[in-house]
Amino acid sequence: MYKVFVKDIPIILSTKKYIGKNYTAIPLKLVDFQKLIQKITKGKLLYINLYHKSEEKLEKFLRKKLPVVEAAGGLVFNSKREILFIYRNKKWDIPKGGIKKKESHEEAAIREVEEETGVKDLEIRKFLSTTYHIFKRNNEFKLKITYWYEMYTDFSGELKPQSSEGIKKATWKNFEQSQKALQGCYENVKLLFPKEYLTTHPHDRVTQV
């Protein structure tokens, strides 16, 4: 199953026709994908399930329908179990960026995290997940596929947000601060975090850095 986000609304691509009573199920071969995206962006559709019996054909469908931009990034922990966040476009996010030619996903992830935050000495611990979201550029819809890695560093120096990329802040956040930041984070980024980070007690009083 795939979740492809359009303005934080997920299009589900699955091998099952029925995934819940709220979902409109459409066979993959019958969908007009461009019109579907436009309806979602206008708020006319919220729960969509595109289905096909072959899971292999689900991603092939996506790559065929839209120009693809590939990126890589990291969920970075330090020795205090704090997580590295960036603040851009009035949202908390985690660092990522485009993959260059002849660059592996892992190399791109490390380079982009370093460039966007100024952090050093990164070590990839494991592959986390692949996320998908649709964005519009130059009046054309595109599909961004991002490969995410869990990383670790002992770096304790000053972080330097990459202002040329519109990043206003780069900062470490502890568990409670991360929970609060995630409340306004992109939905596809939330998928990368352990479940305990996505529940904040209503009586918590957290000061956001």
Q: What is the pLDDT along the chain (209 residues), one digit of tens a residue?
A: 999 999 899 999 999 999 999 999 999 999 999 999 999 999 898 999 999 999 999 989 989 999 999 999 999 999 999 999 999 999 999 999 999 999 999 999 999 999 999 999 999 999 999 999 999 988 899 999 999 999 999 999 999 999 999 999 999 999 999 999 999 899 999 999 988 888 754 444 343 43
> Do 188 and 95 have their domain in common?
yes
Whole-model pTM? 0.89
DSSP string, 96-134: EEEPPTT--HHHHHHHHHHHHH---S-EEEEEEEEEEEE
The answer to whether position 203 is within a domain reads: no
Quick one: how far is CA 61 from the chain centroid?
A: 20
The pLDDT value recorded for residue 209 is 36
The pLDDT value recorded for residue 198 is 82
> Do 40 and 107 have their domain in common?
no
> Do 75 and 44 have their domain in common?
no
> Do 176 and 111 have their domain in common?
yes
CATH at 162: 3.90.79.10
The pLDDT value recorded for residue 203 is 41
Instruction: Yes or no: say if 161 and 170 are a contact pair by the CB < 8 Å rule.
Output: yes
The answer to whether position 205 is within a domain reads: no
> Do 77 and 60 have their domain in common?
no
Q: Which domain holds residue 53?
A: 2-65
Handedness of CA 193, 133, 100, 184 (dihedral sign): negative
> Do 80 and 139 have their domain in common?
yes
CA distances from 58 to 16, 81, 126, 129, 132 (A): 12, 36, 25, 17, 12
